[in-house]
Structure 1
Amino acid sequence: MGRNTRKRRMPLATKAVAASAALALGGGGLVWANFYASAHEENSGDNRTRSAGAQIATIQCPDVGQNLQDVPEKARAGVDEELAKLDKQITEAYARLASTRQAQAGDSGFVQNAILGPLKSKRTAALDRIGINIQRVGGSAPNDLGLLAECKGMAADQPNAGDGDNGQDDQDNGGQDQDNGQDDQDNGGQDQDNGQAPDDNGNGAAGPFADDFVDINDVQPNSRDLPNGLAANGDTGSTGSFTTACGVNENDLFNSDNIIVAPGVDNGAHHTHDYVGNQGNTAFASDDDLANAATTCENQADKSTYYWPVLRLQDGTQEFDAGDLGGGAEGNVGKILKASQAEIKFVGNKQGDVVAMPRFIRIITGDAKAFTNGLANANTSFSCTGFEDRQVTDKYVLCPEGSQVVRTSNFQSCWDGQNIDSANHRDHVAFVQQDGSCPNGFQAIPQLQIRLVYDVPAPTIENGQVQNPYAVDGFPEQLHKPITDHNDFINIMDENLMNEVVTCINQGEDCT
């Protein structure tokens, strides 16, 4: 076993993006770009002159996939391919945004005319093809699909919970005019006068920034306020558990595919994943391929695939993927940190028994695009060992000496009883409600809980800049925000093992 490093064929458009990224990277290969500093910025103590053209940190586009809830099964392959193209288009536009700061500084209309306008045209064509794919098999495409073509410029602030516009203020002039309704923020020492985006974090990478970190001692116990990711188990109902030991990716199986969201698409994730369990997980694997693959799980009847974006330390290390798409060529830079522990547990439901989950069910928890999408599907939490009653979703944590970073994911544990997937990869499952019950029409299945523990050198923050930060891999335009952390699962347990899991949980036993 080893890294999945198959040679990727690069079409001309992709080569152009890689070339643009290479210009931004410079000779060392570590730095993705200095996204925020104006070409005319002058340093003289704390006095800096910034151009108004350097205000846009990233690109915000409507998430088309989340808006497609009724795609006929026969159309899904074609639709998924077009959705992957939309993601690639955003990546290309973002690369251009990052490499044209001087032009933006000299022309207030540059971003709209040279980046957002052409992007809208490309997205319109892809959306038309999505509609054709759906109609070709007798389905009905949403009438307002074309309204999802337009993208905006976006500042580097965190999205706000409950904001109907995905946490973003209205942004006129192609997203460049961001001085309307925005409060001045010192953002942990990062100057954002008049809504301008902050400088980079000191190593030139596209985040994270000082304001993305919080001392765990400053997090209040039991203060996590997102509705998603509640632990389904409790003192009543089905109180047992089943733990499966699958290692911490000792085989170094990495790739930037996503078999759930972008099946059949090379580099569909645009970031690198860790894999434990199933060893056949690529974008091109069929269910039969997965069923016949090897597994790292001690119980060989568990061939499920468990995968998540890698955690990296931005310390200048040239990883194996430093020049690859999904890796350094898309801003995912630095040393990959392997978890010291990967605890994978299935638990019950507060209200009653659970039923077996179907084989090959796909579940995604969290949202890799939560920074631009808003918080509707955000999940997962960061904490520190010894402080795990303190969970935070929109910050990375600074742990005291002797404490380790913890990433926790509690998956959706209600199933519609029929489907192993859905068009937007969300609607066939749901989170438990506050009282632990499932929404009407859904039934409780074992809840997957994944706890990852890391030995992470503590970053240092001085003068509003963070040195040697750690961050999850992500889509380049998401700026490595912690809110974008996510986790993926495909159940490939055999029937006998799944029945054992259900029996243990419903009888209140703790099994391994």
Structure 2
Amino acid sequence: MHTRTARIAMAAAVVAATGVLTATFVSSGGKGTADAATELNQFVPIQQVQPNVRNPAPGAQASSGVFTVDCGTNGNGKFSPDNPVAQPGIKNGAEHLHDFIGNLAITTNSSDADLDASGTTCRNGDKSSYFWPVVRIDRTVRSGAEVARALSATTPMVTCPSVRNRLPAVPARARAAVDTRLASLDRVAAAADKRMAASKGRIDARLNASVLADLRTQRARLIKGISDDIAAAGGGRTSGLVSLVECDASYDGMHAGMRHSVAGVKAALAASAQIQCPTVRDKLPGVPAQAVGEVNRSLAELDRQLSEANERLITTRGQGGNNFVDNAILGPLKAKRTAVLDRIGIAISRNAARPQGLETLAGCTVTGQTEGDQNGGAATPSAPAALPDPQGPNLELPNNTGGVVRPASVLIEYRGNATSKVVPMPKFLRALTGDAKPTSRGPANARATWTCSGFTDRLADKYPICPKGSQVQRVQDFPGCWDGKNIDSTNHRDHLAFADAATGACKQGFAAIPQLRITISYDIPRDVQVKGQFALDSFPEEDHNPFSDHNDFINVNSAQTMQKIATCINKGKTCR
């Protein structure tokens, strides 16, 4: 691997007088020499962390069972910089690499139906998707100067999921109203960009929070209006649009100022190659009311065809010769898409002019050769420049370099509640834990996750240095309380809550559900730990902050399996 000047961890300090979170960089002064003291401030011997894990005492109605699921350790190599929960529809939305286990078809654009039809790595047939940022070992010199320079030249902006690309067929009677609201979405995002530009060259978490909260409110109103317009025109109620409300503070511009350790790498080496197809939903005119149902079924079929093709890329990796993907996957996919696009044209033409050019949307490409923009459709004023795909044998992205450490084991547990029985999780529930951006969004949702095997009575917000023979571990608990209604919310959090830390009870209006805990264990050489040479993939402004650890989940267990999980937990049993 080409040697490069690597990063030093970025520390975040809250300035109490102003409430502004300011990024502070500590470096070797650009001398290109290793400064262990500045690197090691992000590492801590686990013995120096005081026990801090407190489990509430179980009450009379406690549900004390545990249901364990074995989904492997990503042995099939499904890696992606997408985040289908927090950044749905945004290619490379995470800007860092995730391990994916469970659902084989999932991409940032997968529909619930696509997820439900997928294969899985889980032994019990669980099609849920579990994913988290990878850990890397990088033995090169670390200096924060490069990151500091990149930030100083960066104007933050917002990045938002595209709504145009995720809409169902829009009835002709609603087309004008929907287009007006889509234009308004563009305008409010552009206005948010102007507000965020005030913090060019620095990170202001308070400003970011204010901008994102205002933008969330406006987008929620406009997106609900789009849904209402479609329903009022006879298009039926839309689903899943709430997941597209939340935007994020983006420092994508930092990538341009960071050197990449791998140059000129062919797309064939990219991580978990994905098939990208031209979007169709945003190319359709208003659809005659008589054709809405048929067009929606055809759009769903196009989604499923793409998911099946992406799953085949994973399950057939290494098969065939150089032309295998073209002949066995892309060719048949184009033929199937051509037929469906023709059906859409015919359905519309029965009562209106047939849309022209749909046949040009049939051909698809593999990651790295994508036609059209990288966000999957029409660019918006808030769409940053496309990021590179993961490259090279180490699947690297700018500033996320070094060899990926594969987990030695992944333990997935569904656990009970200290005060009550649990109710089954709803299918397609979205959940996340931790915060990938505690520096740029503030640390309120961040969680300490780091520990060592044998020391799980304590969790650190720094990377652990473990005793000889002990594994580095990440213990990630998800919220265990549900609002009883929603599978997602505008900020991807409000529909769930953590139980009270002291009592274990859910807050009023929330019911206990099986609480997901994922424990990821790594065999990392002790000298690597002592020298501070392993780190978490992260967004550029976090610069491998260990407190940015996080995990995401979509429940695709069948209703029967989830009931089995809840019953096991409520009976106090240990099951798998």
Which TM-score tier does this pair reach, normalised by the shorter chain?
0.5 to 0.7
Counterpart amino acid of 1:427? Answer: D
Percent identity reads: 41
CA apart distance, 1:201:
11
CA apart distance, 1:458:
2.5
Please point out which of 14, 17, 21 is paired with 1:168: 21
Aligned to 1:398: 465
Aligned to 2:522: 454
Counterpart amino acid of 1:209? Answer: E
CA apart distance, 1:373:
2.4
1:438 corresponds to 2:499: no
Structure 2 SS opposite 1:270:
coil
Contact 2:5–2:32 (CA under 8 A) maintained in structure 1:
no
> 1:161-203: CA deviations, max 9, x gaps?
x96966736xxxxx8xxxxxxxxxxxxxxxxxxx763338978
- Counterparts of 1:89-168 in structure 2 under 5 Å? 156-159=10-13, 168=21
Aligned to 2:106: 281
Aligned to 2:66: 241
Q: Runs of 4 or more off by more than 4 Å in structure 1?
A: 32-35, 162-167, 200-205, 230-236, 316-324
| Separation in structure 1 between the aligned mates of residue 488 and residue 31 of structure 2, nearest angstrom | 39
Structure 1 or 2, whichever has the larger Rg, is 2
1:315 corresponds to 2:288: no
1:217 corresponds to 2:217: no
Greater RCO between the two (CA within 8 Å, min separation 6)? 2
- Count of residue correspondences: 328
Contact 1:159–1:374 (CA under 8 A) maintained in structure 2:
no
Change in 2 beyond 3 A, CA 1:297/1:29: same
Please point out which of 290, 295, 306 is paired with 2:115: 290
Aligned to 2:329: none
Structure 1 SS opposite 2:119:
coil
CA apart distance, 1:375:
1.9
| Separation in structure 1 between the aligned mates of residue 131 and residue 19 of structure 2, nearest angstrom | 27
Structure 1 SS opposite 2:526:
coil
| Separation in structure 1 between the aligned mates of residue 56 and residue 102 of structure 2, nearest angstrom | 23
> 1:10-40: CA deviations, max 9, x gaps?
xxxxxxxxxxxxxxxxxx54536668xxxxx
1:339 corresponds to 2:414: no
Contact 1:413–1:432 (CA under 8 A) maintained in structure 2:
yes
Change in 2 beyond 3 A, CA 1:353/1:457: same
Change in 2 beyond 3 A, CA 1:269/1:204: farther
TM, length-normalised to structure 2: 0.52
Contact 1:380–1:486 (CA under 8 A) maintained in structure 2:
no
1:408 corresponds to 2:238: no
Gapped regions of structure 1 (runs ≥ 5): 1-27, 36-56, 58-155, 170-174, 176-194, 225-229
Please point out which of 24, 28, 31 is paired with 2:4: 31
Contact 1:216–1:384 (CA under 8 A) maintained in structure 2:
yes
Change in 2 beyond 3 A, CA 1:196/1:349: closer
Change in 2 beyond 3 A, CA 1:232/1:292: farther
Counterpart amino acid of 1:444? Answer: A
TM, length-normalised to structure 1: 0.59
Structure 2 SS opposite 1:330:
coil
- Counterparts of 1:292-307 in structure 2 under 5 Å? 292-300=117-125, 302-307=126-131
Aligned to 1:359: 427
| Separation in structure 2 between the aligned mates of residue 271 and residue 416 of structure 1, nearest angstrom | 31
Counterpart amino acid of 1:422? Answer: S
Aligned to 1:507: 571
CA apart distance, 1:231:
5.8
CA RMSD for the aligned pairs?
A: 3.1
> 1:358-399: CA deviations, max 9, x gaps?
000000100000133222101241111122222112x00011
| Separation in structure 2 between the aligned mates of residue 460 and residue 487 of structure 1, nearest angstrom | 24
Contact 1:384–1:405 (CA under 8 A) maintained in structure 2:
yes
